[in-house]
Amino acid sequence: MREDGSLWVTEIFPTIQGEGPFAGVPATFVRLGGCNLACTFCDTEFEAGNTDMSVDAMLDAIMRVRRSAGPELVVLTGGEPLRQNVVPLLVELTQRGHHVQIETAGTLWDERLEVLVGLNRVSLVVSPKTGKVNPAVERLASAYKYIVRLGEASPDDGLPVYSTQVPGKELELARPPQHLVAKQQVYLQPCDEHDGAEGLTGTNLGEAIRIAAQFGYRVCLQTHKLMGLP
Ligand code: SF4
């Protein structure tokens, strides 16, 4: 962690947030380099072409690429954004009126984030990739999101039972707190791999729809891809 808040950045770009509770909202994405996990299905480029950027350089880049004149949504994603010292950037962004969504797998935590989340200036969207997440992340998360693949749902709650790290191994991924289930803030995103089937039967999408209807979750598609956006 660097004291000055400079970060290892893969890319900064404007788009429409396509997934989760902010789906449809114009946003600037800051993709940070590196991850502490190695998921078998990961298709995110978080190692190539990274550059070190100071907080000022990141703020300049965000102001340059964003589409709107006023404050907007900034999404910190990765990789795993919480493996770096993101607090100085978050403080500057939130002081300028931006709301920041952090997309995290939930294994890492910086206690300085608690104030920003408590002030409702930062939202945590957790996509568990392990059997447990950090207790503070679980307590403060505003939504949970799961990648759904056919045949890997628990019969008890419909949520995934598979190791994201070891192919073929069963593992119950960390479950959402009950208050998020009650608020329907659990999102099911069908895995974006070819199903080899026509229609919904036998597909990851069909499975996500079935589970959402049975257990009261939400189906979440990567709508930015439908829009042809990054
Ligand atoms: S946690 Fe996310 S970014 Fe990291 S390896 Fe897994 S899918 Fe990729």
Give the pLDDT confidence of 160-211 residue by residue, as tens digits: 999 999 998 999 999 999 999 999 999 999 987 655 666 788 899 999 999 9
Any residues with Cβ below 6 Å from ligand 1, and which? 35, 37-39, 42, 44, 46, 78-80, 105, 129
Residue identifier of the C-alpha nearest atom 6 of ligand 1: 39
Best probe residue, ligand 1, of 11, 42, 165, 171 (max atoms within 8 Å of C-beta):
42
User: The whole model's pTM is what?
Assistant: 0.94
Residue identifier of the C-alpha nearest atom 2 of ligand 1: 79
Q: Which of 47, 167, 147 is nearest to 105 (CA)?
A: 147
Q: Residue 197 has what pLDDT?
A: 63
Residue reference for tokens 């199903």:
195
Which atom of ligand 1 lies nearest, measured to the CA of 129? 1
Q: Which of 175, 174, 186, 177 is nearest to 131 (CA)?
A: 174
Q: Is the pLDDT of residue 133 over 90?
A: yes
For residue 222, give Cα distances in angstroms to 125, 138, 147.
15, 24, 11
Mean pLDDT of 94-109: 97
Q: What residue spans of the chain are helical by DSSP H?
A: 55-65, 87-95, 113-118, 135-140, 178-182, 204-215, 223-226
Q: How far apart are CA 74 and CA 45, in angstroms?
A: 19
**89 or 71: which leads in pLDDT:** 89
Residue identifier of the C-alpha nearest atom 7 of ligand 1: 42
